[in-house]
Structure 1
Amino acid sequence: MLMMTNIAELTEVIIEEGVKIVTTGAGTPKSYMPIWKEAGIIVIPVVPSVMIAKRMAKLGADAVIAEGTEAGGHVGETTTMALLPQIADAVDVPVIGAGGIADGRGIAAAFALGASGVQIGTRFLATEECPVHENFKQAVLKAGDRDTTVTGRKAGSPVRSIKNKMIKEYLRLEDLDVGRDELETLTLGSLRKAVQEGDTDNGSVMAGQIAGLITDIKPCREVIEEMMQEAEQVASQLKI
């Protein structure tokens, strides 16, 4: 939210187009929550901590997405396994688990930890319907359990991506304590480079740690059906 300058304009479009559900992240929706709620929109913020989860619930959030540091993109510091049950115990709204979930075992684990649902991102990068460049998909398939890292912690804007030439240069500059402007110059347009142009060396290939579990590209329907079947099997065995 804080990283965008046209939120007011987007809010008007959201209401005009009759959008039913809005998720928010990378900032607080405090200023726009009353407007969305008045329009009957369900608001679900992504939260990285118990404190922020409580704050969002107090503001009127209909649910919260408890996203652990395993996730791709902008992240917090707490792992999903530690974060999810603490948030589930702290708020009275439904909690959606996210970060490090890519199969039925992860879904079952999230429910065991108190989630009412899950949000899955990285697994769907490697699907036929995902519009990212083929090189991006292949980078996800090739990634192992140690192939992602977090940049931007010193600047207060941590992001998890697959390691590449650009990420290594960012980390080098970060260690040298260069200014934020220089770091932003390095990453300017980097997500577009990876997603649209397929430049997985100089682009930002945002993906979670669970990328190491992904080995094939399938249709979304097949991925969902397989995950749900496995989740039901695991839950049955554990009597969740």
Structure 2
Amino acid sequence: MSTTITQLLGIQYPIFQGAMAQIAREPLVSAVSNAGGLGIIGSGGMSADVLREEIRKVRNHTTKPFAVNLMLMMPNIPELIQVIIEEQVNIVTTGAGTPAPYMATFKEHGITVIAVIPSVKIAKKMELLGVDALVAEGTEAGGHVGETTTMALVPQVTSAVSIPVVAAGGVADGRGIAAAFALGAQGVQVGTRFLTTVECPTHDNFKQAVLDADDTSTTVTGRSIGGPVRSIKNGMIADFLKLENEHASREELEKISLGSLRKAVFEGDTDRGSVMAGQICGMCNEITTVEQMITSMFSEAQALLQQLGNTRITGGQTVEI
């Protein structure tokens, strides 16, 4: 499936793997890139040395394009960018801040920059900065989220900018991909569905929590302190929400949440750990390989788009043409 995104990045399928912190590491990244998508290393929480090691591991397992995501709120961003330049990674996605201070450096080294954005206002600012594409992420997504839904956000962003837009949040099958194209996107970014793949390097308990989840299993914490995060409900989340409703300080909230993602991802503690996942997790009900997942999603999307192309709606009825 060829779009402006596949042409820009040299990938087969217009699908990005979400840069999930602690999870988006070599086993998953390499598998996604080898399957024709864009694998993305999540550098959040990494030192420069760890990022360099991950980049080299990925290079040892794929010759296909991959990217590094930068959470721009991290204090060691200049060091991480230096590693990206030295290791000749030519695609970067950014979030949690503005890439403005680094755009000249990126452009000097021929790095394609794709900004993850939650609103039209920020989308326009990123286009003016000179980023090459955008990921418009709706509040349905797992992890750090904005407030606007994917259905509302994507068409407004695609109408407001002239650069390619990738839709994120709530995509787990071919129907989601077809819907994203209908909204004007040139590709999709998927996170939650990748959690239930063989190659995803998380504890089995984490995967099982996603498999067991339904459409009402997630909630958002941290809005009161300006850091909204969507996760699957559990004991830690219940305690966090109780404290948040009692107007607890940031310090009090961090006491129970600090290190919680690592607890879930590596230790398999799905009660006191943070199982970040999106609202679409109710559709993630089987373990497959990354390749099986991507090819089946796009086969379904292609068939659906073809079917819709032969359909018109008239007088309240759907008619094949």
Specify the TM-score bucket, using the shorter chain as the normaliser: over 0.9
1:182, CA displacement in angstroms?
1.1
Structure-to-structure mapping, 1:151-162, within 5 angstroms: 151-162=221-232
Structure-to-structure mapping, 1:46-57, within 5 angstroms: 46-57=116-127
For 2:122 and 2:246, the matched residues in 1 are separated by: 32
Residue 107 of structure 2 corresponds to residue 73 of structure 1: no
For 2:103 and 2:264, the matched residues in 1 are separated by: 33
1:238 to 289, 308, 321: 308
**Aligned residue pairs, count:** 240
- Residue matched to 1:130: 200
Gaps of 5+ in 2: 1-70, 311-321
For 1:76 and 1:109, the matched residues in 2 are separated by: 20
Residue 231 of structure 2 corresponds to residue 167 of structure 1: no
What one-letter code is carried by the residue in structure 1 that aligns with 2:177?
I
Residue 193 of structure 2 corresponds to residue 193 of structure 1: no
Structure-to-structure mapping, 1:74-89, within 5 angstroms: 74-89=144-159
Structure-to-structure mapping, 1:25-44, within 5 angstroms: 25-44=95-114
1:2, CA displacement in angstroms?
4.5
- Name the stretch that deviates more: 50-59 or 26-35: 26-35
- TM-score calculated relative to the size of structure 1: 0.98
For 2:292 and 2:230, the matched residues in 1 are separated by: 27
Change in 2 beyond 3 A, CA 1:44/1:2: closer
For 1:144 and 1:126, the matched residues in 2 are separated by: 14
Identity %: 66
For 2:230 and 2:169, the matched residues in 1 are separated by: 11
Tell me if the contact between 2:72 and 2:94 (Cα under 8 Å) persists in the aligned partners: no
1:90, CA displacement in angstroms?
0.4
2:273 aligned counterpart, secondary structure:
coil
- Residue matched to 2:191: 121
- Residue matched to 1:95: 165
For 1:66 and 1:17, the matched residues in 2 are separated by: 28
1:113, CA displacement in angstroms?
0.2
1:154 aligned counterpart, secondary structure:
helix
What one-letter code is carried by the residue in structure 1 that aligns with 2:253?
L
Bigger strand share: 2
- Residue matched to 2:35: none
1:185-219 alpha-carbon deviations (Å, 9 max, x no partner): 21111111111111110111000000001110000
- Residue matched to 2:85: 15
Residue 249 of structure 2 corresponds to residue 179 of structure 1: yes
- TM-score calculated relative to the size of structure 2: 0.74
1:22 aligned counterpart, secondary structure:
strand
Greater relative contact order (CA < 8 Å, ≥ 6 in sequence): 1
2:214 to 137, 144, 156: 144
1:129 aligned counterpart, secondary structure:
coil
